[in-house]
């Protein structure tokens, strides 16, 4: 680990592009009494070898927008706090629950057998004719296969199992399908991403497509390509949190009413966000500020 940080240097990039967008945002935020700052950016902070891993074409993982300290925390499984949840997931995997008297292991043997599932969710589900994400897939097994209660959103149990199911796919490229029966859901998710909302009248796009690499408050804006790193350990939360929790936070930042975690709106949005990350590696559990 030692010495890695010293080798990092800022990747060149779009420091000026989109400055107008940020100026607009600052105006609006000032209006709303928010203390946002537009500081001309240091762009993604990446060492050359991490760029190879976390950048595909022009897509950059939020990892490359993190500080070297946060990156080092993610890179080292002993420092990565998210690994505590992965280990809890392992314990839950063999725990018998529900009327069927089964554990996950009764059918899936070991977590590694689920390698490959995480990168392809949300996915169209033939049975319910719905789009379901990985948390919902896990809970489906609990209710239908184990005859157990579904785990609550944002519960330690669901976060732990989701982290484990993500972890066993580490390094695999995110690869969601958006054609065929998934298409209408994808289109809705996309529309959500581009729709301005909230008191600040801003869309996801205004920050994550127009202004990555700019500082907003104390945060360096990333491209929001978070298909591979959730659930994520956030230093701010001091715990693991789901992608939908992040969506709620981003909705609240612009003073828009957040949707419920697990709502169809957010599962559609998740498909769009994950599609923007197609090709980037699974890096669960990610660590972010």
**In the complex, minimum distance from the CB of residue 238 to ligand HEC, in angstroms, rounded to a whole number:** 16
Tell me the pairing of strands 123-125 and 130-132.
Answer: antiparallel
Q: Which residues lie near ligand HEC (CB under 6 A)?
A: 62, 65, 102, 104, 106-108, 114, 117, 137-138, 141-142, 145-146, 161, 165, 202, 204, 206-208, 216, 219, 221-222, 224, 226, 229, 232, 246-247, 250-251, 253-254, 269, 273, 288
C-beta of 279: minimal distance to ligand HEC in Å?
A: 15
Q: Which residue is nearest to ligand HEC (CB)?
A: 62
| List of long-range contacts for 14-22, beta carbons under 8 Å, 24+ apart | 14/43, 14/212, 14/213, 15/40, 15/41, 15/43, 15/213, 16/40, 18/210, 18/211, 18/214, 19/214, 21/206, 21/210, 21/211, 22/211, 22/214, 22/216
Closest approach, Cβ 78 to ligand HEC, in A, equals 22
Alpha carbons 180 and 5: distance in angstroms, whole number: 44
Cβ distance 134 to 162 under 8 Å? yes
Q: Between 5 and 201, name the residue whose CB sits nearer to ligand HEC.
A: 201
Beta bridge partners of 132: 123
d(CA 282, CA 116) in angstroms, rounded, equals 10
State whether residue 228 is helix, strand or coil.
Answer: coil
- Cβ closer to ligand HEC: 86 or 104? 104
Minimum CB distance to ligand HEC, residue 47 (Å): 17
Closer residue to ligand HEC, CB minimum distance, 47 or 164? 164
Query: Which CB sits closer to ligand HEC, 47 or 70?
Result: 70
The catalytic site residues sit at 250
How does DSSP classify residue 59? E
For the CB of residue 281, give the shortest distance to ligand HEC in the complex, in Å: 13
| Residue carrying structure tokens 């732990």 | 160
Task: CB nearer to ligand HEC: give 46 or 117.
Answer: 117
Exposure class string for 103-115: b at 16+ Cβ within 10 A, else e? bbbeebeebeebb
């Amino acid at each position: 680990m030692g010495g890695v940080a010293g080798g990092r240097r800022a990747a060149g990039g779009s420091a000026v592009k989109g400055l107008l967008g940020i100026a607009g945002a600052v105006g609006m935020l000032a209006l709303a009494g928010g203390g946002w700052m537009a500081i001309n950016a240091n762009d993604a902070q990446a060492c050359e070898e991490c760029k190879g891993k976390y950048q595909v074409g022009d897509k950059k993982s939020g990892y490359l927008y993190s500080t070297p300290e946060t990156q080092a925390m993610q890179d080292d499984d002993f420092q990565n706090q998210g690994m505590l949840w992965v280990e809890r997931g392992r314990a839950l995997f063999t725990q018998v629950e529900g009327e069927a008297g089964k554990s996950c292991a009764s059918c899936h043997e070991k977590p590694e057998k689920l390698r490959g599932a995480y990168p392809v969710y949300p996915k169209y589900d033939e049975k319910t004719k719905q789009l379901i994400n990985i948390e919902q897939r896990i809970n489906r097994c609990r209710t239908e296969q184990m005859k157990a209660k579904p785990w609550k959103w944002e519960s330690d149990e669901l976060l732990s199992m989701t982290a484990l199911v993500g972890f066993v796919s580490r390094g695999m490229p995110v690869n969601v399908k958006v054609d065929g029966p998934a298409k209408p859901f994808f289109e809705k998710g996309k529309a959500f991403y581009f729709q301005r909302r909230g008191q600040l009248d801003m869309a996801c796009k205004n920050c994550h497509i127009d202004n990555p690499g700019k500082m907003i408050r104390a945060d360096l804006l990333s491209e929001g390509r978070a298909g591979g790193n959730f659930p994520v350990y956030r230093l701010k939360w001091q715990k693991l949190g789901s992608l939908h929790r992040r969506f709620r936070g981003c909705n609240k930042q612009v003073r828009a009413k957040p949707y419920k975690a697990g709502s169809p709106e957010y599962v559609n949005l998740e498909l769009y966000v994950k599609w923007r990350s197609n090709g980037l590696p699974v890096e669960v559990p990610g660590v972010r500020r």
